[in-house]
Amino acid sequence: MAERDNMQNLKIEEEIRCRRCGRLLMKGHVRLVEVKCPKCGFIQVIASQAANK
């Protein structure tokens, strides 16, 4: 329960948006993910610099 309260107090500043329509897809730090935009259907792969090493 305490861990959940700590997670709610964290402020995530990095936003991941669709490259085609700009819709907010997620917030957080991503190593490697493939995501499909629910608005326009565009599929994109998002990788951080650390994931490329």
The pLDDT assigned to 49 comes to 72
pLDDT 10s digits, 21-37 = 999 999 988 899 999 99
Q: Is the pLDDT higher at 11 or at 22?
A: 22
Indicate the SS3 state at residue 33: strand
Q: Is the pLDDT higher at 35 or at 4?
A: 35
What's the rounded mean pLDDT across residues 1-18? 74
Strand-pairing partners, residue 36, are: 43
Q: Is the pLDDT higher at 11 or at 8?
A: 11
**Average model confidence (pLDDT) for the chain?**
85
